Every structure is written in C-alpha cells, then in structure tokens.
Chain A
Amino acid sequence: MSATYATHPEAREIVFDFISDYDDPTLLGAFWMTVKLTVFSGIGSLVWGTLLAAMRVSPVPLMRGFGTAYVNIVRNIPLTVIIVFTSLGLADIFGVTMGARDDFALQGFRLAVLGLIAYTAAFVCEALRSGINTVPVGQAEAARALGLKFSQVLSLIVLPQAFRSVIGPLANVLIALTKNTTVAATIGVAEAALLMKEMIENEAQTLLIGAVFAFGFVVLTLPTGLILGWLSKRLAVKR
C-alpha cells in the first residue's frame, strides 16, 4: 500500500504534512531549541566543571572535599530529578525565576540550562581530572627541578598536555549532553523530544516521525563526534 501511496506527489504531501502542520514550534524550531540548550549548557558546564576540577586538585583540603562530594552526589542523582526540581522546587518554592518571572517559556529554558549545567559539570570535572592525571609525574617533576613556579608548572607544562588528552573525553561529555537536553521536555521546554511526543500522539505516521527525529539527533551528534574525534587524535600527545 505505502509504496504506491508515496509515489504520487499529492500523497507524499499527505504523508509529510505533519511537518508543516506544526508551527509552535516548527520542527526546525524545536531542534534549534535543542541546539541552544546544548550550547548554553555546554559553555556553562565547561566553566563550572573546570572550577570543580581546579578544586579537586587544589592544595586546600576543604575545597578538595567539596569537589569530591559535589561530583559523587550529582553523578548519582538522575538528571530528570534535577531538572524537575529546578521547576517545582527552585522556581516554585525558592522563587528562583532566573529573571523571567512572567515569561514561562524563557524561565523554563533558563532553569533547564541551570539543571543541565549542574549535572554535566560533574562529568566535565571528571574528564578534566583524568586528563591532568594522564600527564606523567616526571613532566611536573622535571619542571619543578628546572625551578618553575607552581603557576608556571601548571600553565606551561601540565595544562597544555592535559587539555590535548582531554578533547576526546570532553567530546563524549558534549555528545551525552546533546542527548540529555531532551530531559528538558519534562519541564515543558519546547525542544525536539517534546515536539516528537506531541506529533507521535496525534499523527498516524509513527515510524516516519520517529525516523525524522532520530535522524535529527544523528545529524547533531555525528559531526560533533567525527570532528572532535579527529581533533583529539591529531592533537594527542604521543608517548
């Protein structure tokens, strides 16, 4: 049935009409929201994760303890719990509306970004820490033997090597983050997964809708993996 059905031009329009039937958001608009969530949370979690990693390797025991505790607690809570909490707990009870008290769409977006940052930063921190650990002890020892200060050891010797070995793991975190942005659907952020839920419940073409959205995520994650994978191989420190 479907073979002849889809070959007629007007029939093809009927099969694919679910794409143009939705305009708030459109298919592309929903995926654009996914991209925005990924980019903002990615930048935020890179900053917060680097701070956490700095705490975890710092000479101050208290900061080390805080960094370790944060990572172990946050990694063991489902992201869904964190995202739902930002809406029901942080916004509704604590009154943290992220500067968007009346604009619920914007508020939801910002809360989701906050939750994603809090969660993803723990994984960024672990990736960075393992990167620092891949630098052989001899490198830092040699640097200290040359009389370099702590800041010089870190900035000239350890971090340049650590960053290069950490691109692969960080790319994995970024890909996981892209997929995790779908959790924002739980607090009503109009991103791809929420639109898919709406479409798949109301339209007849279940398989086609599933394929379209799956394709969208493959398009988002595949180039990230390929480009950063190539980069990490190119920049890897050969030992």
Chain B
Amino acid sequence: MTSVLYDAPGPRAKRRNVILSVVFVAVLLLVLWWVYRTMDDKGQLEWSLWKPFTESEAWTTYLLPGLGDTLKAAALAMIIALPLGAVLGIARMSDHRWVRVPAAAVVEFFRAIPVLLLMLFANEFFARSTNVSSTDRPLYAVVTGLVLYNASVLAEVVRAGILSLPKGQTEAAQAIGLRKSQTMSSILLPQAVTAMLPAIVSQLVVIVKDTALGGVMLGFTELLNTRGTLAANYANVIPSFIVVAVIFIVLNFILTSFASWLEGRLRRSKRSTGAVLGAEDVDDLNAAEVGGPHKTGGVL
C-alpha cells in the first residue's frame, strides 16, 4: 500500500533502518523511564492504589455503574437520533424546496455547533421550563445534546448512503412505475441502511466519547465522573485514569473493529450493490461539509 514509496531495503537501507530503530527505542525508553520515575516518586505505583481494582467494591460501586450510565446515554441518544436523522436526511433530498431548504438549514446549524453548547443549553432548558427532577436532569441534558448533534450527522450519513447507491436503482424503480415515496421506502432506504451500518456503528464511538463531556460539565454520573469519586475515595488519581482510559479504549476498539468487520463483509457480499459508508466517511461528516460527503468515500 504505502510500500510504493520505497524499494525493498538493500544492505545500506537495512543498516539505516537498524540505526533508526535503535535511536527510536532509546527515545521511547527515556520517556517511559521518566514516567516510571515520576510515578514512583509520587507514590503512584504503590500497590495499595492499584489493589482496589482487583476487588469487587471499586467495580460495583463506581466503575460499572459509571460505565452503565455511559452506555445508557449513548444507546438512548443513538436510538432517538436515528429516526430523526433519517427524516432530516430524506427531507434534505426532497424535490420540494420548502422541505429541502429548512431541513438543510437545521442539519448544517446543529453540525456547526459544539455538542457541549447543546448540552449546556438543554440542561438550562430542562431546569427552567420542565419539571424534570434535578437527579434526572443531567441524563436528559446529555441525551438531548447528543441527539440534536448526532441526528444532524446521521442525516448526512443517510443522505450519503442514499447517494452512494447506483443511479440504476432509482431509474429501474421509476421504470416499473413506482412513485417517489415507494422508490424511497422499498428500493433506496433498505439498501442505504445496509450501506450505512458501518458508519452508524462508527458514530456510536463518537457518541460514547462525547458522554464524558456531560460527566464533567453537568455532573452526569458516567464513567469519567465516577472516576473522580473513586479517586477521591482511594486517592489513586493516575491508576484510576489509566483504568478508565483502558475501559474506554477497549469499548471503542470493539465498536471500531465491529464497524470495519461489517464494512469488509458488505464490500465482499455479492447481494449488495457494493455501496458502503465506512469509518472514514464518518470522520468527515462530523466536521461541517468540505468537499461533500460523496467525494471522500473510497468506494463511491
């Protein structure tokens, strides 16, 4: 893939690679040594700080409930945002200007705004205009913020998914006399949903990561928030950060791997049209539009 940049190494290149490797390892070891020494100095390597993670209390009281809330908020946000996103995405492709333009404006507006602003606003809105209890409010605010943002991203995913289908699908549907709504609901959407699956799973990673924002700014008791309580209890700042980071990495790694497995499966499958929206498209759709969603995909 990238090996096009250089030839198979000869004797001189091999020697140079060895030297570079040695220098690189030396620098890496130096950094690791500094981290180790500092942690040792500050007593962060004491077994008493790490021991809680081998016992059930730290998990059942802090980490698992925190992880549960993280997953709950992420799942709720995804479940609510998906249909909303589908409606917005399809509305944006409407033939009627009065449907298309407002939908586009809503999508572009919420995609241009940081999700934290949406969460803060939702929190204040729930506090003033509704009687949601103050214990439930952080969850409501986090989910609302995530839904507003992700519905607009998913609207773009849906749109890109439909645009990625071969033109012949629409033409064939028209040729056999289907109406526009029938073309959309029985021809385009079912195929687009399949093509979108990897992108939807990738977007779940973005949602999981954004829940942490609500933990710090709104006091939502997700994983990063319960880490604070845990660290206050056991005085293990660095170990707790490492454990929480590892949990996030493992969780998101599973989701990412699942997404790329799906992507590979869909690309290979004979029954589909070969249109797939992958993880890279999601990266682009999460920023505002530059170059258009259908230009960045490798398959399109």
Name the distance in Å between A86's Cβ and chain B's nearest Cβ: 11
A180 touches B114 (CB 8 A): yes
B1 touches A (CB below 8 Å): yes
Q: How far is the CA of A228 from the CA of B7 in the complex (A)?
A: 35
Q: Counting CB contacts under 8 A, is B6 at the interface?
A: yes
Of the candidates A73, A75, A78, which one forms a contact with B212 in the assembled complex, judged by CB atoms under 8 Å apart? A78
Check A169 for interface membership: any CB of B closer than 8 A: yes
Q: CB of A43 within 8 A of chain B?
A: no
A66-B24, A182-B114, A201-B124 in contact; A80/B212 too (CB < 8 A)? yes
CA distance A76 to B35 in the complex (A): 22
**Which B196-218 residues sit within 8 Å CB-CB of chain A?**
205, 208-213, 215-217
CB 8 Å contact bits of A69-104 with B (1 = contact, 0 = none): 000110111111100110011001111000000000
- Whether the pair B288, A81 counts as a contact (CB closer than 8 A) is no
Find out whether the CB atom of B212 lies under 8 angstroms from the CB atom of A81: yes
Q: Out of A81, A176, A185, A222, which one reaches B217, CB within 8 Å? A: A185
Instruction: Check if A217 is an interface residue, CB within 8 A of chain B.
Output: yes
Mask: chain B, 36-76; 1 = CB below 8 Å from A; 0 = not:
00110010100000000000000000000000000000000
- Residue from B109, B237, B280, B295 in contact with A130 in the complex, judged by beta carbons closer than 8 Å: B280
CB-defined contacts of A132 to chain B, threshold 8 Å: 2, 5
Q: How many residues of B contact A (CB 8 A)?
A: 64
Q: Which B residues are in CB contact (< 8 Å) with A169?
A: 283-284, 290, 296
Query: In the complex, A211→B177 CA distance in Å?
Result: 46
In chain A, what residue has the closest Cβ to B255? A76
**Do the beta carbons of B20 and A217 come within 8 Å of each other?**
no
A217: B residues at CB distance < 8 A: 112-114, 117
Q: What distance in Å separates the Cβ of B214 from its nearest Cβ neighbour in chain A? A: 9
Interface contact tally, CB-CB below 8 A:
182
Rounded to whole Å, the gap between the CB of B282 and the closest CB of chain A is 11
A141 interfacial by beta-carbon distance below 8 Å: yes
Chain B 124-138 near chain A by CB (<8 Å), digits 1 or 0: 110010000000000
Nearest CB of chain B from residue A133's CB, rounded to whole Å = 6
Cα A60 to Cα B286 in complex, Å, equals 33
Known: A169-B296, A179-B113. A197 touches B120 (CB 8 A): yes
The docked-state distance in angstroms from the alpha carbon of A132 to that of B212 is 33
A195 to B6, CA, bound (A): 51
Q: Tell me if B299 is interfacial: C-beta within 8 Å of chain A.
A: no
Asked if A171 CB lies within 8 Å of chain B CBs, one says: yes
Any B CB within 8 A of the CB of A172: yes
- Expressed in whole angstroms, the minimum distance between the Cβ of B297 and any Cβ of chain A is 11
For B288, the closest partner residue in chain A by CB is A225
User: Is the pair B237, A89 in contact by a Cβ cutoff of 8 Å?
Assistant: yes
- Complex contacts, B211 vs chain A, CB 8 Å: 78
Within 8 A of B (CB), among A134-192: 137, 140-141, 144, 150, 153-154, 158, 168-169, 171-176, 179-183, 185-186
Chief secondary structure at chain B's binding surface: helix
A200 within 8 A of B: yes
Chain A residue numbers with a CB within 8 Å of B216 are: 80, 84, 186
Looking at the complex, which one of B9, B244, B245, B287 makes contact with A59 (CB distance below 8 Å)? B9
Tell yes or no: B21 within 8 A of A by CB. Answer: yes
Give chain B residues whose Cβ lies under 8 Å from the Cβ of A137.
4
A84 to B286, CA, bound (A): 23
Residues of A near B9 (CB, < 8 A) are 59
**Is A123's beta carbon under 8 Å from chain B?**
yes
CB atoms of A218 and B112 under 8 A apart: yes
What are the residues of chain A within 8 A of B256 when measuring CB–CB? 76
Question: Once the chains are docked, how many angstroms separate the CA of A60 from the CA of B19?
Answer: 10
Contact across chains for B117 and A210 when beta carbons are under 8 A apart: yes
Q: Report the stretch among B166-174, B184-192, B246-254, B265-273 that lies at the interface.
A: B246-254
Q: Complex Cα distance A81/B241, Å? A: 8
Instruction: Find residues 184-239 in chain A having any chain B CB closer than 8 Å to their own CB.
Output: 185-186, 193, 196-197, 200-201, 206, 210, 213-214, 217-218, 221-222, 225, 228-229, 232-233
4 nearest interchain CB pairs?
A172-B287, A168-B291, A76-B252, A78-B212
Chain B residues packing against A (C-beta within 8 Å) = 1-2, 4-7, 9, 13, 17, 20-21, 24-25, 28, 35, 38-39, 42, 44, 109, 112-117, 120-121, 124-125, 128, 205, 208-213, 215-217, 224, 237-238, 241, 244-245, 248-249, 251-253, 256, 280, 283-284, 286-291, 295-296
List 14 A–B pairs whose Cβ atoms lie within 8 Å, in order of A's numbering: A75-B252, A80-B216, A81-B248, A88-B237, A94-B35, A129-B2, A172-B287, A182-B114, A193-B117, A200-B121, A218-B112, A218-B113, A228-B290, A233-B291
